[in-house]
């Protein structure tokens, strides 16, 4: 069986990371959550007052700070997946808050942020054997990935999933706020100038609105087997 690169792209909260994480664990690949990297930069920007009153980014200040933002992942055996670290601090919980979700799109649209993150992601996946999830993995980070999946689901279904996730973690959640955030992020992610969210021509599309996690898992594993046996 040859080692391959798996790119999983799609809208926010459509279950990409659950699928990607499960597959990586099952087949012994490294899992990289690229959204966590943009979220970590956002957390840093929030903590260091790098947003203007209107929510736009203080780009000149952020550019100066980029060398001070170090993002890494460490495998958490208990959770069965990597935790995200920002300058040595585990920020796995903080980066999932609604405040970070509400500020991440403008950060992810900044060209120098994207080029820094893409360079790190290419480095992390250079030896293949990686499952990477995000928005531009199949189009920009690994355009030659052997298996590309584009996942989608309706905005209502995705907002409900994020609501359930936050509730389960005991974090504050309001369904209407979450739905608004999902819709706004869809719009910004697909309309930004640099690497907008779009399906790569050779990606396989999966609408999982009416699928269980188990069904998705099997679907993805079947594609992985076919692809890595070729």
User: Binding site residues for ATP, as ranges?
Assistant: 10-18
Minimum CB–partner distance for residue 167 and ligand DC (Å) = 17
> Of 47 and 226, which has the nearer Cβ to ligand DC?
47
Q: 57, 108, 200, 206: which one contacts ligand DC (CB under 6 A)?
A: 108
Task: Kindly state whether residue 92 participates in binding ligand DC, applying the rule CB under 6 A.
Answer: no
Residue 204: strand, helix, or coil: strand
Give how many residues touch ligand DC by CB under 6 A: 13
Task: Kindly state whether residue 34 participates in binding ligand DC, applying the rule CB under 6 A.
Answer: yes
Per-residue contact flags (x/-) with ligand DC for residues 131 to 170, judged by CB under 6 A: ---xxx----------------------------------
Binding-site positions read 10-18
> Of 2 and 169, which has the nearer Cβ to ligand DC?
169
Decide: 4 and 16 in contact? Cβ < 8 Å.
Answer: no
Task: Kindly state whether residue 4 participates in binding ligand DC, applying the rule CB under 6 A.
Answer: no
What CA–CA distance (Å, rounded) separates 105 from 186? Answer: 9
Q: 35, 82, 106, 125: which one contacts ligand DC (CB under 6 A)?
A: 35
Helical residues (DSSP H) of the chain, grouped into ranges:
16-27, 34-47, 59-65, 98-108, 111-124, 155-168, 175-191, 213-229
Looking up tokens 């594609």 gives 223
Q: For the chain, how far is it from start to end, CA to CA, in angstroms?
A: 8
Side-chain-side CA neighbours of residue 83 (13 Å): 15
């Amino acid at each position: 069986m040859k080692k391959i690169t798996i790119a999983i792209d799609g809208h926010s909260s459509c279950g990409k990371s659950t699928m990607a994480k499960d597959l990586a664990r099952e087949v012994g690949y490294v899992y990289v959550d690229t959204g966590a990297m943009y979220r970590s930069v956002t957390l840093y920007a929030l903590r260091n007052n790098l947003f203007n009153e209107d929510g736009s980014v203080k780009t000149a200040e952020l550019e100066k700070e980029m060398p001070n933002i170090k993002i890494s992942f460490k495998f958490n055996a208990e959770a069965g997946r990597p935790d995200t670290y920002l300058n040595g601090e585990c920020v796995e919980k903080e980066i999932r808050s609604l405040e970070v979700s509400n500020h991440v799109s403008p950060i992810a649209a900044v060209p120098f942020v994207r080029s820094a993150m893409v360079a790190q992601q290419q480095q992390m996946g250079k030896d293949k054997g990686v499952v990477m999830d995000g928005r531009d993995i199949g189009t920009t980070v690994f355009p030659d990935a052997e298996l590309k999946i584009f996942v989608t689901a309706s905005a209502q279904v995705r907002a409900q999933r994020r609501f359930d996730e936050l509730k389960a973690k005991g974090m504050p959640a309001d369904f209407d706020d979450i739905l608004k955030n999902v819709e706004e992020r869809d719009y910004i992610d697909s309309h930004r100038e640099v690497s907008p969210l779009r399906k790569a021509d050779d990606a396989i599309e999966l609408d999982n609105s009416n699928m269980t996690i188990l069904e998705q898992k099997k679907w993805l594993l079947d594609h992985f087997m076919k692809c890595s046996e070729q």
